[in-house]
Amino acid sequence: MIVDLPDTTTSQVSKTLVKIREEGGVVALGRVLTLVIATSPGAEEEAIEAANDASREHPMRVIVVSTEPGTETSEVPPRLDAEIRVGGDAGASEVIVLRACGDAARDEESLVMALLLPDAPVVTWWPGAAPEVPGRSALGRIAHRRITDASAQPDPQAALRALASTYTPGDADFAWTRLTLWRAQLAAVLDQPPYEPVTAVQVTGAIDSPSTTLLAAWLRLELNAPTEYELTGAEAGVHGLHGVRLVRDGGAIELIRDVPGIATLQQPGQPLHDLALPRRTLRDCLADELRRLDPDELYGEVITSGLELLGTGNEGSVA
């Protein structure tokens, strides 16, 4: 069910939610968190779809704040249009879409405060453009976790460095979440005999892949070995993380993804193995991040200390 509330107020939205629950039997009991999505007009549906899918694992209230940059001035008439989605149109969640402009869009924190679930954690997600300092932004200050996506920024590599310089415990980025399968596979390989130390690391990927840089930073931090990473131009159909080469005295381990979704693992003395290594979907990344509401300490260490180590000397290279 979808209920439209044109030219409304947050108080009216809250009252309508109560009315819907009383008349339709839709209750908020069991909602474990509030997810606030900060986006722009035209980009709401993809984020809502991902949230609806993730809500089947994490029942929640979803509040979408949609504002057009530049319309939060006094020259634009203040207006708030809202939309409430429940039942089949909202997965296992309640979705509240707030489209604001003028003075109504100036204070995003006030827009959502009256709609937050009581005594429930708050997660703020920016699917597209993110504030310069997420932890100090209006919607970031009220959140236990703050999720950004460096790959969605105009310059993903610069965005990653900016996140490192402004990191606050509780920050997270999908560039790190997309590495879960890669990190698990590499850890499994290194957990097998002959347990030789890694003497050199090489990571390759496209320049539009901040995940490539983060993986190199993680390996540099964990293995304490000289690490090179090469970022190539995003040619037609070639994007994301390409491969990893770990050099040991007994030979090199290579995990290369030449075909989308399939990687080839080569180890000394063993036959080639084809592994399923797909790019994680938006739904997968969101559901993964919502599994924890405490700060991701490893991510914080990698994006600060790991990136700093990666940038020392001539270890990092961009081609």
- At 179, list the tokens: 């590495």
pLDDT tens sequence across 152-175: 999 999 999 999 999 999 999 999
Q: What pTM value is reported for the model?
A: 0.91
Task: Give the model's pLDDT for residue 30.
Answer: 62
DSSP for the chain, please give it: -EEEE-S--HHHHHHHHHHHHHHH----TT--EEEEEEE-TT-HHHHHHHHHHHHTTS-EEEEEEEE-TT--STTSPPEEEEEEE-GGGSTTSEEEEEEEEGGGGT-HHHHHHTTSPTT--EEEE-SS---SSGGGSTTTTT-SEEEE-GGGSSSHHHHHHHHHHT--TTEEEHHHHTTHHHHHHHHHHHTSTT-PPP-EEEEEEETT-HHHHHHHHHHHHHH-S-EEEEEE---TT--SEEEEEEEETTEEEEEEEEETEEEEEE-TTS--EEEEEPPPPHHHHHHHHTT--S--HHHHHIIIIIHHHHTSTT-B---
Mean pLDDT of 104-111: 88
Name residue 101's beta-bridge partners.
79
* Alpha carbon 95 to its chain's center: 19
Q: What percent of the chain has pLDDT over 70?
A: 91
Mean pLDDT computed over 225-230: 95
Interval 40-60 mean pLDDT: 92
User: pLDDT tens-digit profile of 192-223?
Assistant: 998 999 999 999 999 999 999 999 999 999 99
- Where does the pLDDT of residue 70 fall: very low under 50, low under 70, confident under 90, or very high at 90 and above? low
The neighbouring-strand residues paired with 204 are 230, 243
Domain ranges of the chain: 2-148, 180-310
Residue 315 has pLDDT above 50, yes or no: no
| Helix, coil or strand: residue 40 | coil
Question: Is the pLDDT reported for residue 317 higher than 50?
Answer: no
* CA–CA dist 72, 111 (Å, integer): 13
pLDDT class of 76 with cuts at 50, 70, 90: confident
